[in-house]
Chains A and B, each alone.
Chain A
Amino acid sequence: MEIGFYPGCSLKGTSSEYAQSTLALAKAFDINLVEIEDWNCCGATAAHNINHELATALPARILALAEKQGLTEIVVPCAACYNRLTVAQHEINKNPELKARVAEILQMPIEGKVQILNVMQFILKYISDKITDKVTKPFEHKVVCYYGCLLVRPHDILQFDRLEDPQSMDDLMRKIGATSMDWGYKTECCGAGFSVSRTDIVAKLSGRIVKDASDRGAEAIIVACPMCQSNLDMRRPHINSYLQTKIETPVLYITQAIGLAVGLDRDTLGLKKLFVAPSFA
């Protein structure tokens, strides 16, 4: 089976292990993820912070390219890209004037009918039912699932999971044998795009998240967003210095955790690329 794939910029650079593990997991379940040809950056925080029209046109080009390639469904693992693409498509569809304007900017037709799936939606739709049979090494660890902001908000547009206490990632983790614990920071913000320009804010916000996970005895924090992952993982020295303690709880992508459970090896899943190394894999 073939489904479209929008990696986005992070997955080609700082979060290449997220791309590796997503592609490997799909392959293990006989799904071929086909990259959208000549895709561009979604514009991320920078575009929507300072230019609304640009923030709509950049994701629109990606959607128009997917349509041109005949892809009706695309998987977007980065929560920030997923959010931008979904919001842009929603805005275009509810405003015909904007749709015409965007088509004019792009010099391309755009229908606005591509199904956009985040990684959890992709797994739930195509893999979830088959996981139990495939688990060869149950992921028997205590974990907390960290959803962050952009997978669940704004709910009116994304329509994904519950707002304050989402469950989809927790359910998937239980399916592979993990103990998914209740905690207080499931949907709190990690500091997102301030990683470089306001590292102090990221250290504080991510610090609170990591500390709660550690206080509750989690062996890993499970995420589905490259921004969350790099703030909690790569920024750990800043976090530790903010907390004045050393926390060694690793931060794994959900695709890495499931990948391990179905027997994929650590190199294929890019586990070496994590800054805080997991002790169990």
Chain B
Amino acid sequence: MDAELSDDMKISQIAGFLGSGKTTALMKIVDELMKRGHRIAIIVNDVGDISVDAKFIEAHGLKAKEISGGCICCQIAGTFAETIAKLHDTFDPDITIVEPSGVAIPWGLKRAAEYSEAKTDMVIVHAPVITLVDATRIDMLVRAVKRLVETQIREADVCFVNKVDTASVEEIIKTEKLIKEMNPKAEIAHMSSETGEGILFACDLIENRVSPRYDEAVEAELLRKQYSGE
């Protein structure tokens, strides 16, 4: 093992349903963190065999590691862990930003990331789980994919009400209320991936705060609450 490699790697996941603005936010967050002097790696999981999101990111002038063929929080958790270990051994980023698929579950992704510790000499540190919630179509999301949206909100440390530049005040209030009901402990902030509002705060969170490691008991409790409707 190269003695100069760092002992830990911070994993930051930008979660959220499909179309919630993850890729646009990620690009702005990475730009800002690089300005602050961080060595950043990007992992994109677009679940299909072809990643349009990775093409978006590369068109922005950044390089992204694509992981395809399934969801990294479970189906291909092993591939994800291998990728993180390899990144540590070859590129040694201090922060790895992960854009999971729009159906990934944050605690599952934490667990998958921690598998990498068995593959190289490194400790995973989690940045706060950030979940983006699209305020402009909150009604549609709750109607069609409530369980997934609820899981992503329940397992977040910080929820960003996204697209506040185009959402109505009513939509923003409704989204905030929904987040509070689903996850009273979550911090709530506003974001516009397009205008950049909220990006600096997201970077501060990633830089300065940590989130607990994976705990099966905690995940079981979160899921129990969800199934029981508490």
Physical interaction between A and B: no
Interface residues of B (CB under 8 A from A): none
Give A residues with C-beta under 8 Å from B: none
